[in-house]
Amino acid sequence: MKYLHILPIVGVLFLVGSCRPPDREVFSDIHFRQADSLLQLLTLEEKAGQMTNVGLTALTEGPFWNDFDTLVLDTAKLRHFLIENHIGSIQNKGIYPPSKEEWHRIIKTIQDYIAEHSRHNIPVIYGMDAVHGANYTAGSTLFPHQIGLAASWNPELARITGEVTAYEMRASSQPWNYAPVLDVSMQPLWGRIFETFGEDTHINNVMGKAFVEGQQGSSLADTTRVAVCLKHFVGYGTPLSGKDRSPAFIPEHYLRQYYIEPFRHAIDAGALTVMLNSGSVNGIPGHADKYFITDILKGELGLKGFVLSDWQDVDRLVTMHHVAKDTLEAVKIAVNAGLDMSMTPYDADFAKHVVDLVNAGEIPMSRIDDAVRRILYVKFKLGLFDAPYHDPAGYDKFGSEEFAELSYRAALESITLLKNKDQALPLKYGTNILVSGPGANALTALNGPWSRTWAGDDPSYDDPGKKTLLEALQDVYGEQYVSYTPGTDYEGDVESEAHLLRLADNADVILLALGERPATEKPSDINELDLPANQIELVKRLHKSGKPIILVFLQGRPRVIRTIEPLADAILMAYWPGHEGGRALASLLSGRENPSSKLPYTWPRYSGSLYTYQHKGSDRLGKTFDMDGFNPQWEFGYGLSYTTFHYEELNLSADTIHDNETLSLSITLTNTGNYAGKEVVQLYLRDLVASITPDNRKLIAFEKVHLEPGQIKTLDFTVTYENLQFVNLNNEWIAEKGDFEILIGGKPGNMRTGRFFLNK
């Protein structure tokens, strides 16, 4: 290995060509000094290469989109990309998910090739979408998707998911994760809402931070931790039309109040890289927005690492957004806006364009140096120069029972019980259950997208030994008690009524697993939010049997089910709960475990009435001008348990506070039912009068507590002065004098309340 570039540093080098002088804190960081020192040795071509990220299959035999069973690295392509074009980053996979041993072979070959043939031996940084486990390595642990973690209201589960995912990524020699998704999504039509922590900013702040801490630990050089890449800055999750990558229109004060905060929290927690929004906000494409990238993200939020484009999004400034006449102009716009690395991902043209633009004086060298210094900084921080790949044999917990158990616990806490008429659940042993529906006997229905493949809908990559919902129910109740018929697919024909009723005749209860075919990004776009008609028809046909009906939803979005909700005795929303989701559902259905999850988004009753819980007063105005217009199927924060919790009156420490003071409050709750259970205590604030129409309510804190039957607990919370603030039209956080209401409890619409006054 050549370590020539790791020189003892002299402090003036950073000034050469620097875009903005790094702050003292960064400069005192050894990795920054190493990066800066190495930067001085690079040619323009080498720098441009570092800024380029290509897909793995650009380096392998065959076409980019090949469907080979084994990927074979092509020496001519290695030379072309890694040596002639000095490419600094590789990402992603082909069609199939390689084993950790194959990942080791692939990444070792790439890094060794660089070590042997390049001038400076700068390892590539390998990027991967490990969004619910190291999902692109065969045999890895698959966790619930982010929306399920949000629904658990338990940040510890986000931390554990982050930690295990990091371990299994490093077992696959992958040091850099394109996760977490911190797009607050106030758009239930958007197909990627399942990849997010839902519609509330506070949950995104808390969960995002926990996930980042789990992934990164205390040192990125720890070979069980990885660097995160936060995505997609900013506003991607709330497109006006609901279609992926389509325009968002969000005023800056709302962007700051709701959408930027999760990124701020994650950067404060140590996140070093960020991926940009493929769409546009207020008419400006995310990849062209200098104000957002350079001023806000790198300036105000203080991002120390680098900014990555999304897939081919520099080209899309030409082909999709029409803000550049050709690719050359697109590169100029994006890099000058602050983009540091382009996920091209097919070729090295980006690097060539960067060189031409610098030579033509269209991009200042200082901008290039800033970008490359940031990239090298992250590479040094990750310890890649010392350990560019890892022996998979050193990771004996990979895919272990211990990790599966963690995934199971996460799934248990993520599944929301939405209806339980007359205690239809739990289902007693000895009950004859007829199971049906497209999600009932498929692992793909539990894991959802980004599972072994991008769409996650190919059962040929199913992991042996994992249980579908049907199999898990058969394990718990005994095969003779659990029968099955497919009923229907996600779309298409429904089995005949006569056939279905004949099967129902022999059952005591009917359990239907319904939902969406796994899909993400553009393929997840929908034209209507209603559950597909065939699945509604399946419920209607089976309802004619008169037998109790239990619905289990396996899907990312809250699909409209208004017409079948009254036909069901019990309803569970499982999101995409991961590999242990079948077992977790069987445990919840049988009462071995008690549901404890709450909705992380508002579940609409009508496709034409899409509101989030923060909605404004005017959203509540109904057809008769009464304030009854807000009428979702279920509210954000809603979810049932097999036990009941009683809240005592709320105690506030004061009825008036002043600037920068805090307010303390305590609440006592009792488990008044017969089951041990966990309750999510939610604390909301309502600003009663403000100069910008205030939200209906705003979540400011939550805590999940376990109580045995009869157990009593008192919880203390603090309302800070920051909690009272909102962003005004000058984009400043302010709190205004006036009355505030506190709401606390576990059930929206039935909370303990208190009031206080902010005097200024």
Q: Restricting to residues 643-672, name those near ligand BGC by CB under 6 A.
A: none
The yes or no reply on residue 311 touching ligand BGC (CB under 6 A) is: yes
- Beta bridge partners of residue 434, listed in sequence order: 483, 510
The yes or no reply on residue 315 touching ligand BGC (CB under 6 A) is: no
Rg (CA), the chain: 27
Q: Restricting to residues 212-251, name those near ligand BGC by CB under 6 A.
A: 231
Q: What is the Cα–Cα distance from 736 to 742, expressed in whole angstroms?
A: 16
Asked whether the beta carbons of 266 and 209 are under 8 A apart, the reply is: yes
Cis peptide leading into residue 388 (ω within 30°): no
Least distance CB 179 / ligand BGC (angstroms)? 8
Least distance CB 21 / ligand BGC (angstroms)? 32
- The backbone torsions φ and ψ at residue 26, rounded to the nearest 5 degrees and listed phi first, read -65, -45
Asked whether the beta carbons of 738 and 704 are under 8 A apart, the reply is: no
Least distance CB 311 / ligand BGC (angstroms)? 4
Q: Which is nearer to ligand BGC, 311 or 675 (CB)?
A: 311
| x/- map, 280-299, ligand BGC, by CB under 6 A | --------------------
Q: Restricting to residues 697-736, name those near ligand BGC by CB under 6 A.
A: none
Q: Which is nearer to ligand BGC, 347 or 521 (CB)?
A: 521
- The backbone torsions φ and ψ at residue 553, rounded to the nearest 5 degrees and listed phi first, read -100, 125
CA 188 to each of CA 27, 191, 386, 417, 653: distance values in angstroms, whole numbers, following the listed order: 44, 8, 45, 19, 38
User: Is 310 noted as a catalytic residue in this protein?
Assistant: yes
Q: Restricting to residues 250-279, name those near ligand BGC by CB under 6 A.
A: 278
Q: Tell me if residue 284 falls in helix, strand or coil.
A: strand
Q: Which residue has the tokens 């039957």?
A: 709
Q: Which is nearer to ligand BGC, 236 or 484 (CB)?
A: 236
Least distance CB 624 / ligand BGC (angstroms)? 44
Least distance CB 611 / ligand BGC (angstroms)? 26
Measuring CA to CA, which residue among 133, 113, 135, 137 is closest to residue 123? 113
The yes or no reply on residue 190 touching ligand BGC (CB under 6 A) is: no
Dihedral, CA of residue 356, residue 360, residue 365 and residue 368, to nearest 10: -30
Q: What is the Cα–Cα distance from 646 to 630, expressed in whole angstroms?
A: 26
CA 68 to each of CA 129, 286, 354, 458: distance values in angstroms, whole numbers, following the listed order: 20, 34, 33, 15
Q: Which is nearer to ligand BGC, 183 or 593 (CB)?
A: 183
Least distance CB 229 / ligand BGC (angstroms)? 8
Q: Which is nearer to ligand BGC, 179 or 610 (CB)?
A: 179
Binding test (CB under 6 A) with ligand BGC, winner from 46, 102, 129, 369: 129
Copy the structure tokens of residue 103: 């990942």
The yes or no reply on residue 441 touching ligand BGC (CB under 6 A) is: no
Q: Give the active site residue among 310, 340, 370, 687.
A: 310
Q: What is the Cα–Cα distance from 597 to 601, expressed in whole angstroms?
A: 12
Measuring CA to CA, which residue among 571, 503, 569 is closest to residue 541? 503
Q: Tell me if residue 477 falls in helix, strand or coil.
A: helix
Measuring CA to CA, which residue among 318, 312, 304, 291 is closest to residue 234? 291
Binding test (CB under 6 A) with ligand BGC, winner from 92, 165, 344, 524: 92
Total site size for ligand BGC, rule CB under 6 A: 8
Q: Which residue has the tokens 């009906």?
A: 549
Least distance CB 519 / ligand BGC (angstroms)? 13
Residue 67 is which amino acid?
D
Least distance CB 192 / ligand BGC (angstroms)? 8
Binding test (CB under 6 A) with ligand BGC, winner from 45, 521, 537, 741: 521
Q: Which is nearer to ligand BGC, 270 or 345 (CB)?
A: 345
SS (H, E, C) 560-626: ECCCCHHHCCEEEECCCCCCCHHHHHHHHHHCCCCCCCCCCCCECCCCCCCCCCCCCHHHHCCCCCC
The yes or no reply on residue 362 touching ligand BGC (CB under 6 A) is: no
HSE, side-chain direction, 13 A CA sphere, residue 706: 5
Q: Which is nearer to ligand BGC, 199 or 310 (CB)?
A: 310
| x/- map, 33-72, ligand BGC, by CB under 6 A | ----------------------------------------
Q: Which is nearer to ligand BGC, 78 or 182 (CB)?
A: 182
Residue 731 is which amino acid?
N
Q: Which is nearer to ligand BGC, 203 or 274 (CB)?
A: 274
Least distance CB 127 / ligand BGC (angstroms)? 8
The yes or no reply on residue 178 touching ligand BGC (CB under 6 A) is: yes
Least distance CB 96 / ligand BGC (angstroms)? 16
Q: What is the Cα–Cα distance from 305 to 581, expressed in whole angstroms?
A: 36
Q: What is the Cα–Cα distance from 236 to 675, expressed in whole angstroms?
A: 41
Least distance CB 603 / ligand BGC (angstroms)? 25
Q: Which is nearer to ligand BGC, 347 or 508 (CB)?
A: 347
Q: What is the Cα–Cα distance from 93 to 86, expressed in whole angstroms?
A: 20
The yes or no reply on residue 310 touching ligand BGC (CB under 6 A) is: yes
Q: Which is nearer to ligand BGC, 50 or 278 (CB)?
A: 278
The catalytic residue positions are: 310
What residues make contact with ligand BGC under the rule CB under 6 A? 92, 129, 178, 231, 278, 310-311, 521
